Amino acid sequence: MIDFKKFVKYSKSGPRYTSYPTAVEFSPKFDYNALKDSLKRNDSMDCPDHKLPLSLYVHLPFCRSACYFCGCNVIYTSKEDKKDRYIGYLKKELEILKKHMHTEREVVQFHFGGGTPTFFDAKQLGQVIDLIKMAFPNFASNAEISCEIDPRHFSREQMEVLKKSGFNRLSFGVQDFDEKVQEAVHRNQSVDFVGRSVELAREFGISSINFDLIYGLPFQTYETFEQTLKKVIDLSPDRLAVFNYAHVPWMKKTMRKIDETALPTPDEKLRILEHTIGFLDKEGYKMIGMDHFAKTSDELYKASIEGQLRRNFQGYTTRGFSQTIGIGLTGIGEGVDYYTQNYKDMQNYEKAIDNGVLPVERGVKLSDEDIIRKEVIMGLMNNLRLDFKNIEEKFHIKFQEYFAQELESLKEYEGTDLVSLTDKGIYTTPTGGMLIRNIAMVFDEYLQKIPIDQRRFSKTV
């Protein structure tokens, strides 16, 4: 039995590393002109055998009501005209985008995120999909086409549209099945209710279903989360994303409605996570990267064994690197050497588009140093290990010399059996995998410049 209390000291403020540099480094200095230059530059970048492929992320920001745990960029409304107006602006944004990049490049990923994408009715979803496919006509035959689903807003008519449009992956927001926890976070949905949504997806031939779960929510315990896991297994999703709840009430006002005294302690959260990993492993789900699990028959598991996983804003993928184009309010894009984010405020988003410019609010152009460190950090986050040879061959450096200071810092984690350091690479232990954010932080050049008491991130544990 692991004594998790000794690891509580690693419960620090730290990034989740959905990007590197992280979003705190995004700047308004990266403006419309900077994005135009970046799109043009990435258009000309070749992969070994073909043009750099594309991933499309479309943000549908509306929700009917608040889930208190949610950290997404959301607009709460019940008005249909707001959704129709938004679709009109998506159309205008795509028309501007086509002027600044080659939209005929191959699309290997397409993802609807939110908000609640299925808060848009079947007709509205069909309209958005048609707009995307007119703007980006070249979808790969094996493209990952996915949508986030709120089981409380999911109908047969919507499923028909998604299936007809080629969607092959669905991700259901489950979070927790305990009624007390659901009440505390304002997200009530029964097992039977979710089960009916899963049955509908299976009826239409969806063979890749993901459940999102969250540990660290109010009133959760080791015992209650175990019951949630058992109910999840009965529904047999193909993949699971088990996230650590990020309590950031200074950023998200709805989180202030959560009773902080009811949140599990860091050692209890580690205990929940350790049990989750063991429980899912026995049920045939293997840990993938930091917070994902997949059946051994799933391509994610096979890619993880080979160390070939990559992660972008849509999640883990086996498709290799692709340029992500963020579309819609607060959409985030990623290229070989840049990140960009659209306006979070609807008024500014619409104003930019009305002025005929892309609605970019901020971003960052990566330096050569950023690109090297991004590869290191993402390699750790994706595969829970890092082979020096891959980095050395790609960037023509000697890893142990280049990162001598960072490797010295990692010896603390080696001394507590969280990592193993060899001449060939960095390898996390099972417990180290649970603390991979802490390990990745060692290589974050920007983070080291921020005093510990001024770091405004969620806790790593």
Sheet strands (E) in 252-345: 285-288, 292-295, 310-312, 315-317, 323-327, 332-334, 338-342
Q: What is the pTM of this model?
A: 0.91
pLDDT value of position 188: 93
Please tell me the distance from the alpha carbon of residue 74 to that of residue 77, in angstroms, as a whole number. Answer: 10
149-166 pLDDT per residue, tens: 999 999 999 999 999 999
Please tell me the distance from the alpha carbon of residue 375 to that of residue 331, in angstroms, as a whole number. Answer: 23
> Closest Cα to residue 358, out of 334, 336, 337, 331?
331
Domains, the chain: 22-365 (3.80.30.20), 368-452 (1.10.10.920)
Give phi and psi for 139, each to the nearest 5: -85, 135
Q: Phi/psi class of residue 215: alpha, beta or left (left: φ > 0; alpha: ψ in -120 to 50)?
A: beta
pLDDT at 175 over 90: yes
pLDDT value of position 274: 86
Q: What is the DSSP string of 408-423?
A: HHTHHHHHTTSEEE-S
**9 pLDDT band (50/70/90 cuts)?**
confident
pLDDT value of position 150: 94
For residue 178 the two structure tokens come to 């305990």
CB-CB neighbours of 404 under 10 Å: 11
pLDDT at 6 over 70: no
- pLDDT over 90 for what percent of the chain? 70
Give phi and psi for 55, each to the nearest 5: -120, 135
pLDDT value of position 8: 66
pLDDT value of position 138: 97
The end-to-end CA distance of the chain, in Å, is: 19
Sign, CA dihedral 164-169-174-175, equals negative
293-345 pLDDT per residue, tens: 999 988 888 877 776 667 777 677 776 789 999 999 999 999 999 999 999 99
Please tell me the distance from the alpha carbon of residue 377 to that of residue 440, in angstroms, as a whole number. Answer: 5
230-285 pLDDT per residue, tens: 999 999 999 999 988 988 888 888 999 999 999 999 888 888 988 998 999 999 99
pLDDT value of position 2: 59
**50 pLDDT band (50/70/90 cuts)?**
low
Sign, CA dihedral 6-9-14-20, equals negative
Amino acid at the residue 222: Y
Of the ranges 37-46, 142-151, 318-327, which is most confident? 142-151
pLDDT value of position 1: 52
Please tell me the distance from the alpha carbon of residue 375 to that of residue 1, in angstroms, as a whole number. Answer: 34
Query: Which segments of 99-164 does DSSP mark as H helices, in order?
Result: 122-135, 156-164
